[in-house]
Amino acid sequence: MKNYSIIRWIMFVNSLFISSYCYAQDQPTSSLEDILEDIAINSETNMDVDKPNFEESLEALSSLKQSPLNLNIATREQLERFPFLSDLQIEHLLAYVYLHGEMKTLYELQLVEDMDRRTIGYLLPFVCVEPVNSQSSFQWKSLWKETSKYGKHEALTRMDIPFYRRKGYEHSYLGPSVYNSLKYTFRAGEHLYASFVAEKDAGEPFGALHNRKGYDYYSFCLLLKNCGKLKALAVGNYRLSFGQGLVVSTDYLMGNRLYATSFNVRSSGIRHHASTDEYNYFRGVAATLALGRRWETSAFYSYRPMDGTVKEGVVTSIYKSGLHRSSKEAAKQGAFALWMAGGNVTYQQSRIKLGITALYYAFNRPYKPLLTGYSTYLMNGQRFYNVGIDYGYRQGRFSLQGEAARGRQGWASVNRLYYSPVQGTSLMLLHRYYSYNYWAMFARSFGQGSAVQNEQGYYIGVDTSPFSHWNFTASADFFSFPWKKYRISKRGSRGVDGQLQATFTPRDKLSMYLRYRYKRKERDWGEGDARQTLPTHHHQLRYRLSYVPSALFGTRTTMDYNRFHYQDRSISKGYLFSELISLRLPTLPLSADLQGSYFHTTDYDSRVYLSEPGLLYTFSAPSFRGRGFRFSARLRYEPNRHWMLLAKFEQTAYTDRAEIGSGDDLIPGNKKADLQLQLRIRW
């Protein structure tokens, strides 16, 4: 063992000289915003797909940036929080620490097998290397000591002020146009988390009418983690995710194309819900207990009011936006209730994982939506259930995961094969089958649509870095819809969604990529008797250049081109040019992000998406159609570790119209400007 340690130190010293670049804790690394944009890449090009708010995912990464994870004591569960770490990389990292002892410096990440340059760059902001003292089993007394002595408090408030007036405020909206939210969180290491959230959307009354209690939405959560045999206990609002999401998942899903091979979706079990998302959560109690070294069992119960439309004692629709601005919207608030109970049992050893999840849920009123056309097989009734069996198997560079589920109607399955033939290259093949009549209210998994229903297909993805400074990714998704879909009146429609990307990083300060996406699917064209289902072709091209010469200055140039058309029909096109400049003053704790953009599109089908620096725990990717200019400026003032003030001003000016929007959201004039303010206090 002594000789092995000497070899290890020789390898480490040698790597400092032969490496093409060096990692250091004080060197620039991938910014949190860059990592979040990679994770949320699907949001830029597919915002029409319904997805839950991923505010908590951003908060989790931000908290790790403030309190980095010590790699010398990191567990598999803790490392699985990072979606950019593959199962193989996690296994090799744990094995490295186990075989060679404590890491002395983060430079040693270069010696871990399968740890590539990009992954290390992603990981560095969130980890550290510190000596390990003596470790003992969990004691409740230590939790109270940790809570009182090392607990961290954070208070966050946000206010959005629009510099325009929508038409709805003339006759429909009952409250002021200002948005406001409050959030308080308390953390005590890895074991205790508590939060309180209050929110009022723009147009909702405050302390009046149907909101006499002040804010429109309140949320509370208390979460205990890894307290001996008690692996998790949540009281209040919480989230659930087990298996591959065919039974239950309220987690944010990443894009289903490019990064399915680079980023990993894992079930997170029981998690806290502390975001302003008013739909994707449960309310009640949930717990996970360890039954020995390899068995875990979870149980959960939820009862919560739901928004919707009720006519003659029957629920005809479920309202998901959480907006209660007008009398009509307020009448939908808490119109009916939903209760849910279920559990999960999981067996896991080093290479095999097996689990079973079961849910039973019911409305207090019958749910009978309009069943016609593409919605003929939507969920309806009063009582429902789902049962799923999931599995996972790892052997060397090979892994296999999947789940099969059954509901009151229909069934679903998804199977994922991952293989890394050599370091720096990964392959993934995924097959899913969701029957047209599968009912699963809380399911969310891989697919073209937001619902785990009426879809089947094959996905193949490749991610490789064959040359120094180069990375290539390619993916193709071949899908079909057995039954009709929204705007598709044909049964058995088919399509393909493919993407290619080449990334070149000649040095740490300079990076660029070129991405091409092609999507073909069928869609209705025309009205009435003249309506027919035709193939559509959508081409998207993006080039991005990022240059960060120092920690004080950086630029990012983005150019987009869209081309959309029905087969044998006219072509619509869209263009976007955007420039982002990031500045940080050397003498003041002040930083700024300035972004200017020009867009020009033919119609809605050729619309473009623009990613912008946003407020804390948010990701901004607005869409634009028509012709105009967009400007945004974000200022961040952080005088010390306790206080932070962030302000963002954004304005969009259209040159092809005299008003923006329609209906109650119509804005007179061709300009739309907003100011967002955020204050954070930590102690």
- pLDDT: which is higher, 298 or 66: 298
pLDDT digits (tens, 9 = 90+) for 580-638: 999 999 889 999 999 999 999 999 999 999 888 888 877 777 889 999 999 999 999 99
Structure-model confidence comparison of residues 143 and 223, the more confident one: 223
pLDDT band at 33, cuts 50/70/90?
A: low
Pairing of strands 69-70, 127-128: parallel
User: What's the mean pLDDT when you consider all of the chain?
Assistant: 87
Instruction: Read off the pLDDT of residues 564-587 as tens digits, 9 standing for 90 and up.
Output: 999 989 999 999 999 999 999 988
pTM (predicted TM-score): 0.87
Task: Tell me the residue type at 504.
Answer: F
Judge whether 500 and 463 are in contact, CB under 8 Å: no
For residue 189, the SS3 value is coil
- pLDDT of res. 134: 57
Per-residue pLDDT at 262: 53
Is residue 84 over pLDDT 90? Answer: no
- Report the pLDDT value the prediction gives residue 59, as an integer from 0 to 100: 66
Residues 6+ apart with CB under 8 A from 221: 193, 194, 195, 234, 235, 236, 237, 238, 272, 273, 274
pLDDT for residue 21 is more than 60: no
* 355 close to 342: Cβ distance less than 8 angstroms: no
CATH fold of the domain at 180-421: Porin (2.40.160)
Q: What's the distance, Cα to Cα, between the start and end of the chain in Å?
A: 45
Q: What is the per-residue pLDDT for 50? A: 34
Sort 559 into a burial class: Cβ within 10 Å, 0-12 / 13-18 / 19+.
middle
The tens digit of pLDDT for each residue in 301-357 reads: 999 999 999 999 999 999 999 999 999 999 999 999 999 999 999 999 888 999 999
Q: Taking the domains of the chain in order of start, what are their residue ranges?
A: 1-131, 180-421
Residue 298 corresponds to which amino acid?
A: S
pLDDT band at residue 31 using 50, 70 and 90 as cut-offs: very low
Q: Which residues contact 577 (CB under 8 A, 6 or more apart)?
A: 558, 559, 560, 597, 598, 599
Q: What is the pLDDT of residue 561?
A: 97
pLDDT value at residue 56: 59
